[in-house]
């Protein structure tokens, strides 16, 4: 989405002919700046509704036109152009691109507006930004393109859940995910992961079916969504039909993926043995009683090494585990869409199939999507439309984190080169590794089912009634139905089977049934240079969850997979829960002479998630802007193309995620075979919304017809923070939902786009954005209260992700022992900085160490030359710390002799005088230097080449013979290059906690797009 | 045309009418019950009584932690290896910032809250028939006794032994009615005050409780035996003797025979069991009986057992010192994990079918005999009476041994043999002010090499557990035990 400019006027080539009243006109529509064809331009005879649409090459033909008529050419992103026919048969037109930021149509809350008259903070992305990226869901492709928006993946497994944070963090507990609104209807979103795999409910939207995305950032933009808007709003507009010739597009790509970087480099086999021996040697030296029965320390070390890091045996086969566990993933994607219609009726329909094999044999994702979007103008008053979106997704994978079936974790931590893979007869080695809980994962793969299916149907119907020219009423009724089925089965024969009898099968069905109805009236009127618009309406939402879970044990047959064939009940239940929301919305805006703009909005929400006394909340905003460039004194300053100052203030809210969190409730279970009931939740009748007070000032400028600049500053204060707060254990509860304290996010966002080369056949643009984020907890419910949520602490004056742990000093050069700052509180209130051992060290707030970055953003390049085009997107983040939980297991200084070691262990202390951060290795060490201290904190800075796409359009003369209107081949890559000081993938979730989640993958795809 | 248009507009209007009608915003959960309506009948109260016990059997309380604190801090059970098996319990390696060992404290207060909820709600429940009154009284008695047991456990885990300083050290926070987040931030009372509440709760409960057996629930006899145990810890020897004697003489329970002794441990509702807690696969697989349970980790007899715990060689030497002791059969040498080390098969699982699901036996008649012996010896009952009780237990296990005259050492040795694995040993040594000695080089011990003193007395700060640093951050009124970092 790069800003363009007014460059050329239209060019008309005239050919005089025909004096008849009715003529046939043909021509081509091109971009005035680039000279390239503009597809699908609407060509309408002025004063009528008759018209046609140009084809993909910008060619149009319109017949039976009065020879003296005027044609109107219009297309999104271009200025509308009118031309009198004057008896010509061929009229070629060049349209001028709208300077974005002026009159570009912007999709906003409950309607559209033009960017120039909008005083809120919103960023719109057109589908060009992500259309060629090899992703399942659009979020993965837009990292680094929107200032102030942080995007990370929960896991690198196919289809995993994205984590989007718009302008920081508004909440401790109620969720920091934005609201998704699809074509005007709030959609089910957020984390609907299965029990064991992260999955995104947004996967149901094929990125190719999206026309545009608008991210609403400030209160003026989002307050109309009231109680759900405090984390920002993502408005998604799906593709609609276009009038004119039916356009059929086929698109396909094939992609190849593998880990984006070399995560956690490990020591070699020889080094591993050497480190193991050293740890036992040191242990034996310290504890001579331990080896007395072995005769000598050396034979003790030999025995221990043989036990924990056994030598290779001739009757066993060893392997390079990486080759057994991983493969280059191949993904395929096929899409077919048709778009067509006339001035009255428009239809868009698409089908797509996507298959991603995953880089581990138990991972894959398969998705089908289908989509129909239709509308019809019934008569002068009435327009109706509807859409149907369908997707069916099957996803298989494994748990993330330090889980037994996370192959990445097993590979890095547990599978040392000395653990056998097979016997020499070819059968798998099936014994327990190490301490008896890890097994050879390869033979288990086909004995485990860990998958999730997700079927989603979104149905929508709408009626638009134009009562008068200025007054319009639109009603939408929609049904969003999401059906999920997760399976977690260990079949008969799985090495874990005895834990659950002869196998274990857990099935979970979840249904999310959301119905939304809204009716909104809008009124627009111009009085000379005064324009006003009014909007008022209501919206009701009914959101029902149905949940069924059944777990059984003991399969009755080898090979049985379903719980119907398991003989014993383990657990199971079903329930439904309902959350309803009733809202009234209204807004007002006024502008004078395209110079002064003011607007206001108000919404009243009632939610069933809160008690009767507190459930109604009011949310509002006011905003204004001044377009300085339209003032007389700037009109003639040639280098100021546009200059605008805007500001807004308003409120929005956030509801508790728990639907019944305000009530005291009893839950039930079993005691033996008898029913057992117990209080489950502490009541809080005063529970209320989390409220955001948000102000924003911004400046938009276009200078020298080349530089586009946007600067914004925001200040977002959240009051009545919702927290599932730890309560004194003496209440008998561990936590209770409470409104506790306040928090503030402030930041600066800058975006600059420069048109470096802008010639008829060549374009080169560079865009960069940078955002800062300062997050601070302002207060908690009681003075001085601190909430420790390791490795973080929440305390007034610190960020929400402030680290709190023991402060690691390093290694005592004389003894090799890890040393810590005592940090005991001295009588004068300061912290004692004496060096002590672990047990004597107190945890403390580590000033300046937080997971919140100092800055982040992206740099984007667009280049095109004739039929070749290329784009490149970098993303960066700096000034934050990552908590590396891998320190525990890979850098444990000898604690666990069975496991692998990170290369860092080679820097261990060996003899007095050694200066290092890695303590002396001691088997089963007691110094505990490896866990829960600032040793696990690492600088998270990174720079990543997120996207690179090169695309080439085939020459027209070749294509026209094949009756193809356009054909394009492209190569696209994701996560191609990464620069970071970390030894694992730096795209870590926003809280900075990294714990062996499956790392991001690098993908390269080859694609083809053909339009008929 | 206008009419047609208006007809279509009715649809959303209709939906609006539906949604705005009364109650659209009053939704109720279906998987739980709103508390105000949760206890309206005696049946509801009975279900809530079961709720008292339900979570006491989790691994952080009687599903393992209490047994570990008694036996693994003692010299009966130890980790098989240095890297697994509650090493921090074994080596007294806990500290105020470890995150793992604090759910015992919160589990205790969860149970206390359930007792307080039941006591409050029973007060509002009106019943008239004699049988209903008896039921209601029994429920109320159970709530008081469970509360007494939990406060007793808090006192002995978090407070120093009563006899060290007559209960002057810090004990539990005494919460006797329902509290909210703000009025719960009370300081800890002394051990003496905690014991006083425990004994008061038991006195309240005894007249209310049924004397009939009620498997899985406190009855009069279980409460009486708890009372005997509390007196024993307080050093009120005559009271301890009297209470234990009442259980031995008056209760319907009988000691099982030597022949039935091994199978006894897999039986539910056996004649010697006064109180056990139900553990079954239906009630939560991982927390009760799964990988983390004590029983799972003691078992070495199946390839998927946890096998991280073993009996100490000193206990094995003790039990094998007198040949013919049936309890020596618990020691087995066929470990599927480490054939060089013996394992301990006392708890084979309910019905002997799945070693993960063991009903923990909290009170057995055998303990009453041992309490009666100790109470009689140290009180006014005399050594002869004590010897009678002691020899009953000795000879039940090993008929070939000769009668002995009871001494305190012999009683403690017999307690160590008979109550092994049931969570008594460390507490017994501490309550009597005796050292807990575990030296490296003695069998597979490794506590010393990991920084634990080889001999621990009631003066060592780690004989009491730390209070959570994290909780103290927002609940500073909760005093830390001396010696631990803030």
How close is the nearest chain B Cα to the Cα of A555, in Å? 16
| Chain B nearest CA to A915, separation (Å) | 25
pLDDT value for A93: 84
Residue B83's pLDDT is what? 73
Which is more confident, B474 or A463?
A: A463
Pick the closest to residue B155 from B234, B51, B227, B237 (CA basis): B234
The 10 Å Cβ neighbour count of residue B454 is 15
Picking from B425, B428, B306, B426, the residue whose alpha carbon sits closest to that of residue B358 is B306
Q: Does B28 touch chain A (CB under 8 A)?
A: yes
Are A565 and B276 within 8 A, CB to CB?
Answer: no
- The answer, for A727 touching chain B at a CB cutoff of 8 Å, is yes
Q: What is the pLDDT of residue A101?
A: 45
Query: Is residue A758 in some structural domain?
Result: no
Looking at mean pLDDT, say which of A476-490, A953-967, B144-158, B472-486 comes out highest: B144-158
Residue A469 per-residue DSSP state? S
pLDDT for A583 beyond 80? yes
Residue A874 belongs to some domain of the structure = no
| pLDDT for residue B163 | 96
Cα nearest neighbour of B305 on chain A? A499
Instruction: Specify whether A224 is located in the same domain as A124.
Output: yes
* CB neighbour class for A390 (10 Å; exposed up to 12, middle 13-18, buried from 19): middle
Q: Is A671 within 8 Å of B95 when comparing Cβ atoms?
A: no
More confidently predicted of B20 and A495: A495
Here the ipTM equals 0.90
Average pLDDT of the segment spanning A403-422? 89
Q: Grade residue A19 by pLDDT with cuts at 50, 70 and 90.
A: very low
Q: What is the mean pLDDT of residues A494-506?
A: 73
Note the maximum CA span of chain A.
117
- Across the interface, whether the CB atoms of B449 and A287 are under 8 A apart is answered yes
Residue A10 scores a pLDDT above 50: no
Whether A827 and chain B come into contact, CB under 8 Å, resolves to no
Q: Least CB-CB distance to B216: which of A435, A672, A788?
A: A672
Chain B residue numbers touching A547 (CB-CB < 8 A) = 31
Same domain assignment for residues A120 and A228: yes
Query: All domains of chain B, ordered by start, with CATH?
Result: 41-209+450-486 (1.25.40.390)
Residue that terminates a domain, selected from A218, A238, A258: A238
- Answer whether B452's CB lies under 8 Å from B445's CB: no
CATH number at residue A78: 2.60.40.1120
CB atoms within 10 A of CB A421: 17
Question: d(Cα A501, Cα A554) in Å, to the nearest integer?
Answer: 5
User: CA A515, A519, A520 angle in degrees (round to 5)?
Assistant: 135
Q: How far is CA B186 from the centre of its chain?
A: 24
From the CA of A288, how many Å to the nearest CA of chain B? 10
Q: How far is CA A911 from the centre of its chain?
A: 48
SS3 of residue A456 by DSSP: strand
Alpha-carbon gap, residue A623 to A402, rounded angstroms? 49
Contacts of A497 in chain B (CB under 8 A): 304
Q: CB–CB of B471 and A806 under 8 A?
A: no
Tokens 């441990």 belong to B265
3-state secondary structure of A848: strand
From chain A residues 585-614, the ones with a CB under 8 A of any chain B CB are 606-608, 612
Whether A608 sits inside 8 A of B285 (CB atoms) is: no
Asked whether residue A226 is assigned to any structural domain, the reply reads: yes
Are A666 and B32 a contacting pair at CB < 8 A? yes
A142 within some domain: yes
pLDDT digits (tens, 9 = 90+) for A141-192: 888 888 889 888 888 888 888 888 998 887 877 778 889 999 989 998 878 8
Q: Is residue A40 included in any domain, yes or no?
A: yes
CA distance A513 to A534: 32
Q: Are residues A111 and A234 in the same domain?
A: yes
pLDDT of residue A103: 58
Residue B3 has pLDDT above 80, yes or no: no
CA distance A442 to chain B (A): 18
pLDDT value of residue A786: 83
CA A540 to chain CA centroid, Å, is 27
Nearest CB neighbour to A660, from listed B15, B29, B306 = B29
Average pLDDT over residues B93-121: 89
Kindly state whether residue A148 falls inside one of the protein's structural domains.
yes
- Give the tokens for residue B158: 């978090």
Under 8 Å between Cβ of B405 and A254 = no
Contacts of B283 in chain A (CB under 8 A): 669-672
A463 and B25 within 8 Å at the Cβ level: the answer is no
Q: What separation in angstroms does the CA of A199 have from each of A327, A486, A618? A: 22, 11, 34
For residue A955, the model assigns a pLDDT of: 84
Where residue A483 falls among pLDDT bands split at 50, 70, 90? Answer: very high
Q: Which chain B residue lies closest to A726 (C-alpha atoms)?
A: B471
**Is the pLDDT reported for residue A618 higher than 90?**
yes
A46, part of any domain: yes
Are A37 and A147 in a shared domain?
no
Instruction: Look at A29-43, A815-829, A993-1007, B257-271 and tell me which has the smallest mean pLDDT.
Output: A29-43
pLDDT (mean) for B218-241: 98
Chain B residue with CA closest to A896: the answer is: B83
Q: Which of B289, B293, B282, B440 is closest to B357 using CA atoms?
A: B289
The answer to whether A985 and A978 have CB atoms below 8 angstroms apart is yes
Q: What tens digit of pLDDT does each residue of A80-127 get? A: 788 888 888 888 887 876 654 445 677 888 887 877 778 888 888 887
- For residue A582, the chain B residues in CB contact (below 8 A) are 19-20, 24-25
Which residues does chain A have within 8 Å of residue B82's beta carbon, measured at their own beta carbons? 923-924
Kindly report the backbone phi and psi dihedral angles of residue B450, in degrees, each rounded to the nearest multiple of 5, phi listed first: -105, 15
A142/A151 Cα distance (integer angstroms): 8
Contact predicate A816/A914, CB 8 Å: yes
Number of domains in chain A: 2
pLDDT band at B15 (very low <50, low <70, confident <90, very high): low
Interface contact flag, B285 A571, Cβ < 8 Å: yes
Question: What is the enclosing helix (H) or strand (E) of B217?
Answer: none
Residues 370 through 389 of chain B touching chain A, CB cutoff 8 Å: none
CA distance A236 to A138: 10
Say whether both A209 and A182 belong to one domain: yes
Q: Mean pLDDT across the stretch A384-404?
A: 91
Residue numbers of B between 264 and 303 with CB closer than 8 Å to A: 278, 280-285, 290-291, 302-303
Q: For residue B337, which residues of chain A lie inside 8 Å, CB to CB?
A: 436
For residues A159 and A118, membership in a common domain is answered with yes
Count interface pairs A-B at CB distance under 8 A.
276
Q: What is the C-alpha separation between A704 and A324, in angstroms, rounded?
A: 59
Give the residue numbers spanning the domain of A81: 22-95
Model confidence band, residue A1 (pLDDT cutoffs 50, 70, 90): very low
Looking at the fold, whether A38 and A129 belong to one and the same domain comes out as no
Distances (CA, A) of B465 to A493, A931, B256, B451: 43, 21, 36, 17
Backbone phi, psi, residue A1010, to 5°: -125, 130
Query: What is each CA distance from A908 to A412, A436, A627, B171, in whole angstroms?
Result: 20, 28, 64, 44
The answer to whether B45 faces chain A, any CB pair under 8 Å, is no
pLDDT at position A827 is 87
Nearest residue of A to residue B439, measured between CA atoms: A289
A285 to chain B, any CB pair closer than 8 A? The answer is no
> For the segment A733-783, what is each residue's pLDDT rounded down to a tens digit?
988 888 888 999 999 999 999 999 988 788 899 999 999 999 999 988 766
DSSP codes of every residue in B300-346 = -SSTTS---EEE-HHHHHHHHSSTT-GGGGGEES--SS-TTS-EE-S
Q: What is the CATH classification number for the domain harbouring A113?
A: 2.170.130.10
Per-residue model confidence (pLDDT) at position A169: 85
Neighboring chain A residues of B83 at a CB cutoff of 8 Å: 435, 895-898, 924
- Residue that is last in its domain, among A238, A270, A285: A238
Residues 406-435 of B with CB under 8 A from A: none
Q: What pLDDT is stored for residue B4 in this prediction? A: 54
Alpha-carbon distance of A874 to A291, in angstroms, equals 57
Whether A178 maps to a domain, the answer reads: yes
- Report yes or no: A931 and A924 within 8 Å, Cβ to Cβ: no
Mapping DSSP to helix (H, G, I), strand (E, B) and coil, where does residue B475 land? coil
Instruction: Share the mean pLDDT of chain B.
Output: 90
Nearest chain B residue to A894 by CA: give it: B83
Per-residue pLDDT band at A903 (split at 50, 70, 90)? very high
- What are the structure tokens assigned to A524, written together? 């627009």
Both A127 and A74 in one domain: the answer is no
User: Looking at beta carbons, which residues of chain B come within 8 Å of A806?
Assistant: 97
Nearest to B83 among A432, A679, A924 (CB): A924
Give the nearest partner residue to A665 out of B25, B27, B32, using CB atoms.
B32
Token pair listed for A506: 């857990």
Q: How far is CA A817 from CA A835, A919, A928, B88, B446, in A?
A: 11, 6, 10, 20, 20
Q: Does residue A231 contact residue A219 with C-beta atoms inside 8 Å?
A: no
Residue B301 confidence (pLDDT) above 90:
no
Top mean-pLDDT range of A47-61, A457-471, B185-199: B185-199
Is the CB of B479 inside 8 Å of chain A's CB atoms? no
Note the pLDDT of residue A6: 31
The arithmetic mean of pLDDT across residues A397-407, rounded, is 85
Chain B, residues 444-473, CB within 8 A of chain A, namely 446, 449-451, 469-471, 473
Co-location of A76 and A34 in the same domain: yes
Comparing B262 with A176, the larger pLDDT belongs to B262
Q: How much is the pLDDT for B395?
A: 96
Same domain, A65 and A114: no
Q: How many CB atoms lie within 10 A of CB B226?
A: 26
**Touching check for B26 and chain A: CB below 8 Å?**
yes
Kindly state whether B203 is in contact with chain A, defined as any CB-CB distance less than 8 angstroms.
no
Would you state the pLDDT for residue A14? Answer: 31
Residues 146-175 of B with CB under 8 A from A: 173, 175
pLDDT at B11: 56
pTM for the whole structure: 0.83
Determine which of A212-216, B4-8, B433-437 has the lowest per-residue pLDDT on average: B4-8
pLDDT category at A18 given cuts 50, 70, 90 is: very low
Nearest to A416 by CA among A309, A326, A314, A327: A309
**Is the same domain home to A143 and A234?**
yes
- Could you read off the pLDDT of A272-323 as tens digits, one per residue? 999 999 999 999 998 888 788 889 999 999 999 998 899 999 999 999 999 9
> What are the tens digits of pLDDT across the range B384-410?
999 999 999 999 999 999 999 999 999
A62 shares a domain with A110: no
Spell out which residues of chain B touch residue A460, defining contact as CB-CB under 8 Å: none
B137 touches chain A (CB under 8 A): no
Q: How far apart are CA A517 and CA A580, in angstroms?
A: 12
Question: Which of A95, A127, A153 is a domain's end point?
Answer: A95
């Amino acid at each position: 989405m790069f800003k363009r400019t007014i460059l050329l006027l239209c060019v008309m080539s005239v050919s005089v002919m025909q004096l008849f009243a009715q003529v046939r006109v043909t021509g081509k529509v091109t971009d005035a700046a680039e000279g390239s064809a503009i597809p699908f331009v609407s060509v309408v005879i002025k004063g009528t509704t008759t018209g046609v649409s140009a084809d993909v090459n910008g060619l149009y033909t319109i017949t039976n036109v009065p020879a003296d008529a005027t044609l109107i050419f219009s297309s999104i992103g271009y200025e509308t152009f009118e031309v009198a026919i004057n008896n010509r048969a061929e009229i070629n037109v060049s349209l001028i691109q709208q300077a974005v930021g002026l009159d570009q149509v912007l999709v906003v809350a409950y309607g559209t507006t033009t960017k120039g008259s909008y005083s809120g903070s919103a960023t719109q992305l057109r589908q060009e930004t992500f259309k060629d990226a090899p992703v399942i869901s659009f979020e993965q492709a837009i990292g680094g393109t929107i200032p102030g928006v942080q995007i990370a993946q929960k896991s690198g497994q196919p289809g995993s859940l994205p984590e989007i944070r718009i302008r920081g963090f508004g909440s401790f507990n109620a969720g920091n995910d934005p609201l998704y609104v699809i074509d005007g209807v709030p959609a089910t979103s957020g984390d609907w992961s299965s029990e064991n795999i992260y999955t995104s409910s947004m996967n149901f939207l094929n990125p190719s079916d999206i026309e545009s995305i608008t991210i609403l950032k400030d209160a003026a933009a989002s307050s109309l969504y009231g109680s759900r808007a405090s984390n920002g709003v993502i408005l998604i507009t799906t593709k609609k039909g276009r009038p004119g010739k039916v356009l059929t597009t086929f698109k396909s790509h094939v992609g190849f993926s593998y880990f984006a970087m070399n995560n956690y480099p490990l020591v070699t086999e020889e080094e591993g043995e050497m480190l193991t021996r050293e740890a036992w040697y040191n242990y034996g030296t310290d504890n001579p009683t331990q080896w007395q029965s072995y005769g000598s320390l050396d034979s003790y070390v030999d025995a221990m090494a043989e036990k924990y890091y056994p030598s290779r045996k001739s009757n066993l086969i060893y392997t390079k585990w990486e080759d057994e566990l991983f493969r280059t993933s191949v993904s395929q994607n096929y899409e077919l869409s048709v778009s067509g219609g006339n001035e009255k009726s428009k239809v868009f329909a698409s089908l797509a199939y996507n298959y991603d094999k995953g880089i581990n044999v138990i991972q894959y994702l398969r998705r089908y999507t289908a989509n129909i979007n239709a509308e019809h103008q019934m008569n002068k008053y009435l327009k109706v439309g509807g859409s149907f979106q369908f997707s069916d997704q099957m996803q298989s994978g494994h748990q993330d984190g330090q889980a037994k079936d996370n192959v990445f974790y097993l590979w890095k931590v547990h599978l040392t080169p000395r653990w056998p893979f097979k016997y020499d007869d070819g059968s798998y080695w099936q014994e327990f590794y190490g301490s008896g809980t890890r097994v050879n994962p390869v033979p288990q793969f086909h004995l485990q089912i860990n998958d999730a299916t997700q079927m989603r149907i979104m149905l929508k119907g709408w009626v638009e009634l134009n009562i008068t020219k200025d007054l319009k009423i639109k009603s939408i009724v929609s049904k969003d139905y999401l059906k999920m089925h997760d399976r977690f089965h260990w079949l008969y024969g799985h090495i874990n089977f005895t834990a659950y009898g002869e196998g274990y099968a857990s099935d979970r069905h979840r249904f999310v049934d959301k119905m939304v109805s809204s009716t909104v009236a809008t009124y627009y009127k111009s009085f000379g240079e005064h324009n006003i618009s009014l909007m008022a309406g209501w919206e009701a939402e009914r959101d029902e969850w149905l949940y069924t879970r059944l777990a059984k044990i003991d399969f009755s047959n080898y090979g049985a997979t379903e719980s119907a064939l398991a003989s014993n009940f383990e657990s199971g239940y079903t329930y439904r829960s309902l959350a309803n929301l009733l809202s009234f919305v209204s807004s007002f805006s006024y502008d004078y002479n395209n110079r002064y703009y003011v607007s206001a909005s108000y919404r009243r929400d009632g939610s069933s998630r809160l008690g009767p006394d507190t459930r109604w909340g009011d949310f509002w905003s006011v905003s204004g802007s001044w377009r300085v460039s339209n003032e007389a004194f700037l009109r003639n300053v040639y280098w100021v193309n546009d200059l605008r100052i805007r500001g807004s203030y308003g409120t929005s809210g956030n509801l508790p995620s728990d639907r019944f969190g305000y009530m005291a409730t009893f839950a039930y279970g079993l005691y033996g075979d008898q029913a057992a009931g117990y209080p489950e939740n502490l009541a809080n009748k005063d529970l209320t919304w989390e409220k955001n007070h948000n102000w924003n000032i911004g400046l938009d400028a276009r200078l020298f017809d080349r530089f586009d600049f946007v600067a914004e500053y925001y200040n977002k204060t959240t009051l009545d923070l919702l927290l599932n707060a730890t309560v004194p254990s003496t209440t008998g509860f561990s936590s209770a939902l409470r409104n506790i304290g306040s928090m503030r996010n402030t930041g600066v966002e800058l975006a600059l786009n420069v048109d470096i080369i802008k010639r008829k056949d060549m374009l080169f643009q560079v865009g960069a954005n940078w955002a800062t984020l300062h997050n601070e907890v302002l207060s908690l419910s009681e003075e001085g209260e601190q909430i420790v949520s390791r490795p973080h602490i929440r305390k007034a004056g610190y960020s929400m992700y402030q680290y709190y742990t023991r402060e690691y000093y390093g290694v005592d050069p004389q003894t090799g022992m890890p040393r810590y700052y005592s940090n005991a509180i001295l009588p004068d209130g300061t912290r004692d900085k004496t060096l002590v051992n672990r047990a004597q060290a107190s945890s403390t707030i580590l000033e300046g160490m937080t997971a919140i970055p100092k800055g982040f953003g992206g740099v984007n390049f667009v280049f095109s030359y004739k039929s070749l085009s290329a784009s490149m997107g970098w993303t960066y983040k700096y000034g934050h710390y990552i908590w590396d939980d891998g320190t525990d297991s890979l850098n444990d200084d000898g604690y666990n002799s069975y496991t692998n070691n990170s290369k860092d262990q080679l820097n261990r202390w060996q003899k007095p005088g050694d200066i290092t951060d890695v303590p002396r290795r001691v088997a089963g060490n007691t110094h505990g230097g490896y866990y829960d201290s600032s040793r696990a904190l690492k600088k998270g800075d990174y720079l990543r080449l997120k996207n690179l796409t090169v695309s080439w359009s085939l020459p027209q003369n070749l294509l026209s013979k094949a009756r193809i209107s356009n054909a394009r081949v492209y190569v696209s890559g994701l996560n191609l290059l990464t620069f970071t000081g970390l030894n694992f993938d730096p795209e870590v979730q926003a809280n900075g906690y990294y714990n062996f989640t499956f790392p991001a993958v690098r993908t390269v795809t080859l694609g083809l797009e053909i339009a008929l | 045309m206008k009419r047609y248009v208006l007809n279509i507009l009715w649809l959303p209007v209709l939906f609006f009418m539906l949604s705005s009608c009364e109650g659209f915003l009053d939704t109720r959960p279906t998987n739980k019950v709103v508390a105000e309506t949760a206890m309206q009948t005696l049946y509801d109260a009975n279900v809530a009584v079961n709720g008292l016990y339900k979570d006491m059997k989790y691994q952080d309380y009687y599903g393992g932690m209490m047994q570990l604190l008694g036996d693994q801090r003692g010299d009966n059970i130890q980790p098989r290896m240095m890297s697994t098996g509650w090493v921090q319990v074994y080596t007294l390696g806990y500290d105020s910032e470890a995150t793992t060992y604090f759910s015992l404290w919160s589990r205790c207060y969860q149970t206390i809250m359930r007792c307080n909820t039941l006591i409050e709600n029973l007060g509002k429940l009106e019943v008239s028939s004699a049988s209903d009154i008896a039921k209601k009284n029994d429920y109320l008695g159970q709530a008081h006794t469970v509360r007494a047991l939990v406060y007793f456990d808090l006192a002995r885990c978090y407070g120093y032994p009563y006899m060290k300083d007559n209960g002057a050290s810090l004990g539990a926070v005494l919460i006797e009615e329902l509290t909210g987040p703000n009025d719960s931030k009370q300081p800890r009372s002394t051990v003496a005050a905690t014991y006083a509440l425990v004994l008061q709760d038991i006195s309240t409960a005894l007249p209310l409780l049924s004397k009939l057996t009620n498997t899985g629930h406190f009855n009069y006899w279980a409460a009486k035996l708890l009372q005997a145990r509390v007196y024993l810890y307080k050093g009120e020897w005559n009271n301890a003797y009297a209470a234990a004697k009442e259980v031995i003489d008056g209760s319907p329970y009988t000691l099982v025979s030597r022949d039935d002794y091994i199978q006894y441990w897999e039986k539910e509702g056996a004649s010697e069991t006064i109180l056990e807690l139900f553990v079954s696969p239906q009630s939560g697989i991982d927390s009760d009986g799964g990988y983390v349970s004590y029983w799972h980790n003691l078992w070495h007899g199946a390839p998927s057992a946890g096998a991280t715990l073993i009996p100490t060689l000193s206990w094995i030497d003790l039990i094998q010192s007198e040949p013919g002791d049936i309890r020596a059969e618990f020691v087995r040498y066929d470990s599927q994990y480490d054939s060089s080390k013996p394992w301990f098969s006392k708890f084979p699982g309910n019905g002997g079918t799945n070693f993960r699901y063991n009903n923990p036996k909290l009170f057995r008649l055998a303990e009453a005999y041992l309490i009666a012996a100790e109470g009689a010896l140290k009180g006014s009952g005399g050594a002869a009476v004590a010897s009678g009780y002691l020899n009953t237990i000795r000879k039940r296990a090993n008929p070939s041994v000769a009668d002995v005259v009871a001494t305190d050492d012999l009683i403690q040795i017999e307690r160590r043999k008979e109550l092994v694995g049931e969570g008594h040993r460390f507490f017994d040594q501490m309550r009597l002010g005796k050292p807990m000695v575990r030296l490296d080089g003695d069998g597979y011990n490794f506590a010393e090499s990991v920084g634990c003193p080889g001999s621990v007395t009631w003066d060592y700060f780690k004989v009491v557990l730390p209070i959570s640093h994290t909780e103290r951050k927002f609940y500073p009124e909760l005093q830390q035990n001396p010696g631990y970092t803030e």
